[in-house]
Structures are given as C-alpha cells and as structure tokens.
C-alpha cells in the first residue's frame, strides 16, 4: 500500500464523522424525532466542544496584529469585479 500523503488524515476524518454524528443526534432531539435525557444532551455538548473549536475565542487581526482592513468591490460587471479583485490581492 502506498504511504499516505497526510498521516493525520484518517484521524481527522474520524473526528469529523464523530462531530457530525453528535450534531445529527442534537438536531433530531431538537426537531422532536428522538428523545434524549439531560445526561445525553450534556454529554453530547461536552463532546462537541472537544471536536469543534469555539469561535467566540477566535481572534482575528490584520497585518502585524493591527486592525483588519475591509475592502469592497462595487460593480455590476463580473469582468471588472475580477480585475479589481486581482488588483487587491496583488497589492497594486
């Protein structure tokens, strides 16, 4: 068998499957398709927090830790929007 390009791939896939199973369980409970005890809900909550990062604790900063620069493109012409985008990412 050939060597894996990313040795952690299998583990990452398993993590995603576990997280999706927890989300499905919680969705089914919320939608009334499945009953769940308070203990099951708390356990699912704890496990989900371990699988999925808490976005409330994610800090977004701009260049050199400064503020994030917001830039917009306003045009109805898709070709012009593409040109403006290319200028933005190239820094010209």
- Residues sharing a CB contact under 8 Å with residue 15, sequence separation 6 or more, in sequence order: 51
SS3 label, residue 46: helix
Encode the chain (92 residues) as per-residue pLDDT tens digits.
566 677 777 777 777 778 888 999 999 999 999 999 999 999 988 888 887 776 677 778 888 888 887 777 888 888 988 888 888 888 76
In the chain, where the domains are located? 10-57+67-90
On whether the pTM is more than 0.75, the answer is no
Model pLDDT, residue 19: 84
Residue 22, judged by CB atoms within 10 A of its CB (0-12, 13-18, 19+), counts as buried
Model pLDDT, residue 4: 63
SS3 label, residue 5: coil
């Amino acid at each position: 068998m050939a060597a894996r390009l990313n040795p952690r791939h299998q583990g990452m896939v398993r993590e995603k499957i576990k997280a999706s199973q927890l989300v499905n369980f919680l969705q089914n409970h919320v939608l009334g398709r499945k009953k769940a005890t308070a203990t099951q809900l708390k356990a699912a909550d704890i496990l989900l927090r371990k699988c999925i990062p808490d976005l409330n604790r994610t800090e977004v900063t701009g260049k050199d830790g400064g503020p994030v620069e917001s830039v917009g493109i306003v045009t109805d012409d898709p070709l012009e929007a593409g040109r403006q985008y290319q200028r933005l990412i190239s820094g010209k």
